[in-house]
A and B are shown apart, each in its own frame.
Chain A
Amino acid sequence: MGNYFNKIDKWLSDRYELDALKELIMHKKVPVHRHSVWYYMGGVTLFLFTVQVLTGILLLLYYKPGENSSYESVRFIMTHVKFGWLIRSIHSWSANLMILFAFLHMFSVFFSRAYEKPRELTWVTGFLSLAIALAFGFSGYLLPWNQLAFFATKVGTEIVGVVPIIGEPLKVILRGGEDVTGATLSRFFGIHVAVLPLVLTAFLVIHLLFVQKQGMHEPEKFKSLPEEKKKYIPFFPNFVLKDVLLWLVVFDVLLMLAVFLPWELGPKADPFTAAPAGIKPEWYFMFMFQSLKFLPAYILFLEGELVGVLGFGLAGLAWMLFPFIPFKNKPGAKISLQAAIGIFAVIYIIVLTILGYTL
């Protein structure tokens, strides 16, 4: 075996400059310490993204966008295509897990302060990737054209409309008309299968190049250890193998979810029925949705919803540019201001999500 590899390697090296590439892979060492687990979160997210791309392509073989065909073709996939139910279920579950792991990854990076110099742009590209992942979720939700998705999309796009001046035209552009119709479906389909994959791939490549170039961030405690006590494992093959091991576990979990809790389809969307009770967005939008609900109709002279939407917009922007915000912490402080903000964000998200499901 090894022989063949060597031969191929030699053949390639004779023709291309492979050293730079090899160096990029080989040079990196991954620190080993109490919080090393968090180094795997980005990898899991990446794995789930590949699962998405692959299962997504498979679904495209049978899916037909259109008011009269979307729901029917998804049903067809689930009832007539062998293992169609499995592919669809994996795609749906993996989408949710991907977003979950992206959030975990982001907060772990945040609390270990990995976003600080020199990794500011890694953070920014990562944040943008998460935003795109959310857009993936939102656009994909509508594609089966079932009742729940139809109304969730109606409510979701309605929220865009509250932004002053650009909101209304933006909503119309997003919906492909005044209302959520077959036109919206075509649009969302195009965005979901063409635009977003392209953009996310581009961002991820940059994100990963940065990470690979700069190596892993070492936490404060680890850095202050004497040189001989710092333990590392090589990125290749050790860390990569561990990554793969975890991916296999995640993959099996995905299979179990698909089999034991297959994604349901529900009734077909009927634009002329009244919205069923309890329309809820997907869980990762819940904290924002719930916050908007809590706001009073008017805050000062502004519409409450508008304040909420603008507030989330600004908070998102600040979060994206977090590495560039200069913080002055008092030397004696028990907890840094950054950490306090992070803890607040986590608690806020968790509490409002729970409220969203219990109220």
Chain B
Amino acid sequence: MLRLIRAELKKMTVSKFFLVTAVLVGVVYIVMLLQTLGFFDPEGYFSTASYENKLFQQYQGQSVDDCKNEIYNEYSRLESASTDDNQAPGQYGPYAYQDRLIYQKLHEQVKYFDTYHDTIKLVLQNAMKVKQKQLDLSPYTNEFLVRQSDRVIEAYQYKKDFSIYNSSGWTNWLGRASISVMDFLLLAFLVVVIAPVFCSEHEKGAFYLVFSSRRGRGKTFLAKLLACTIFTLAFTLILLIIKFAVYSLRFDMFAGLLQPLQSIPDFQMCPYSINILQTLLLLYLFRILFYLVVVFFTLLVSCLFKSVLFPFIIGGAMSISLLFLQQYAAGYQVGFSDINFSKFYLFKDLQTYSFTALYNPLAFFEKFDVVNLFGFPVYRLTVNIALTLLLIAVLITLAYFAYTRQVSLSSWNPVRLLRKKSKEALS
């Protein structure tokens, strides 16, 4: 089986077309990454960056309480010394100007850490209130609200220990993690590579040998499926590593890796107790799920039509339309305050399901967000993943039947069918 998978992977990747496209896509990807980080900026972005990292390293790893006074003081001293004269770099030592900006950053972070627990305290108090008052509505609502409040308390009660690090790299990374045109080019690349896997045999007539071999259709299907999955995983992982390497050139990316996600202001309300590394891995896991949905959809189309052209067109069209979907009909909009007062809000909740949300799952990490599942609060993220897995299972099952069916050698081709029908109608 392993050798079969390896052979399938080889079939996918050993071709001039693949190599050329892969190199091209890779180069464009890296250039665009460097571009977004100002690599081609003549102003010496990188020297500033390294200076910034150095200053941060002075305080790095110290707990907030230990150094907050020093930072507050130093910041106000620099602020008060700042006049129009020393705004320009160079006059009061080479870094006087940057010093002030960087201390501003430091100061912002320390202030955020300092006030974080007060904000959370308010949320907890609110939840306690809901729980104790037992709002006088229908019995179901009560139950759900109480359970939800329990969840809130459970999520936020643990005190977070923050220590100082330069968070601008991760803020930048997460801020740019949303969908972009480039990501869809990469998706299209994936589709182009995956599309022929399940139908090249039919195009070339090699299926006679494949289907009549001992391993047969079932095993071959499995091997191809796993090969596609492995390829998608490897592809996403390589992109992740490239991105990390490029970001590391600009920011000190390792410093914050083990800090709680809540140390980044946008994720103050994150209900999960996870650090940045874990967030990153989850983010990419979800992105892989998203890719897999597209991949398996492409695969189903290619099994159905047994021709490379259709999956190319449909896969390509799908990735482009997803781009628009994501931008113009973005996933869902449910806020923290959105409380469902009826028993079965499930349908409405599921209406908002969209697997594209998994491409940019940051929204799931920004707020406390649950679905009312028969009176029980379940994190929307969990529901979303479950539904996506279900979708993948359905796609695979359909593809399996399409691939292994033994009805006829001629494939079900709508164009051919239409032509035949119209010919019949004419005669």
> Do the two chains bind?
no
